[in-house]
Amino acid sequence: MPSHRTSKNAEPEQDTSAGGPADLEWFAKPDSPEGGKGLRFSCTMCGNCCTGPTGYVLVNDDECSGMARKLGMTMEAFLAEHTHMMPLGRSLNERKTKHGYDCVFLDRQKIPGKAVCGLYEARPRQCKTWPWWSSVIATRDDYDQAQKKCPGLGKGTLVPVSEIRIQRKIIEI
């Protein structure tokens, strides 16, 4: 699924340095859904992106330190209890539920009918930058596929092209 936990390979970044219309990303062109102004996104708290088939949420030391602090744990305890190593690096653990493999921090109790991140402010970059990953917005087709699973894509707040580009560069997914 187009999730925080996907293993889909990212496509190469588009080079916009030439500056001509042909070099623009599809979402910056006039025939895109928002006329080239950006894309809309407002999370509905459905939780789809934090569950599904087994996947990964990559975390670095700084992120683990912040998450451990939020949970009142030592770094060592946090790493041992909530993470594991994968070929791509360290990832958050997941747990099998009736919905799929939930991220260990997905909270389905806090708000009835919703699924929210139990670490929200301390969530890792991979989560903070969703859905502006290269693999999600590389092509209109990638975006359309992601929109089928993420009901927040295409709705609500208009996120400008400039901000999408910034988010896309933060982590390569």
Helix (H, G, I), strand (E, B) or coil at 95: strand
Minimum CB–partner distance for residue 28 and ligand SF4 (Å): 22
Residues in contact with ligand SF4 by the rule CB under 6 A: 4, 43-50, 57, 92, 103, 105-106, 117, 119, 123, 127, 130, 150-152
Q: How far apart are the first and last CA of the chain?
A: 13
Burial code of 29-68, b = ≥16 C-beta within 10 A, e = fewer?
eeebbbebebbebebeeebbbbbbeebbbbbeeebbebbb
Question: Can you name the residues that pair with 110 across neighbouring β-strands?
Answer: none
* Nearer Cβ to ligand SF4 (24/46): 46
* Nearer Cβ to ligand SF4 (8/29): 8
Minimum CB–partner distance for residue 20 and ligand SF4 (Å): 33
* Nearer Cβ to ligand SF4 (32/48): 48
CB-based contact 5:94 (threshold 8 Å): yes
Minimum CB–partner distance for residue 14 and ligand SF4 (Å): 23
* Nearer Cβ to ligand SF4 (133/138): 133
Q: CA–CA separation, 118 vs 131, rounded Å?
A: 19
Minimum CB–partner distance for residue 105 and ligand SF4 (Å): 4
